[in-house]
A = this chain, B = another copy of it.
Amino acid sequence: MPAAFQVRTSRRIETVDITGEVQKRIPKDFSGVCVVYTKHTTTAIGINEGADPEVRGDIERNLARLFPHDGDYRHMEGNSDAHLKSILMGPSESIPVEKGSLLLGRWQAVYFCEFDGPRTRTVTLTFLSG
């Protein structure tokens, strides 16, 4: 089975830095690619700057501008904006790994993006040898 961990959020829309949660589950000396995957249809995995928290806020606000919560949708569960952000951003990222370390760029962080929280969600990690 893939490795897995849970992410808890406290707001409807929340971008959580999970870089450390991913890194600590990578097998020692593993090299290849780690596929980080979310099993939920109103969430996504993304990669972007982790240093300035305002970047996360800009992402949340600007996605909300493109897909407003109260937009013109026919799916009646009140979370169509979340489905749209989820499918556009995508449920996974494939990250190179060398000798047990994620080969992220200096400013890159791995984000779990919750668009319909607060919830407890599951993220899986699959390791593919290079």
Contact sample, A vs B, 13 pairs, CB 8 Å cutoff:
A1-B98, A2-B103, A2-B130, A40-B108, A41-B48, A46-B87, A47-B91, A48-B87, A58-B80, A62-B71, A62-B73, A92-B94, A128-B128
- Chain A residues within 8 Å of B, Cβ to Cβ: 1-2, 32-33, 35, 37-41, 46-49, 52, 54-55, 57-59, 61-62, 66-67, 71-77, 80, 83-84, 86-96, 98, 103-108, 111, 122, 124, 126-130
Question: Besides the contacts A39-B108, A62-B84, what 4 more A-B pairs have beta carbons closer than 8 Å?
Answer: A1-B98, A37-B95, A37-B96, A49-B83
> Which residue on B lies nearest to A71, using beta carbons?
B62
Contacts of A46 on B, CB cut-off 8 Å? 87, 90
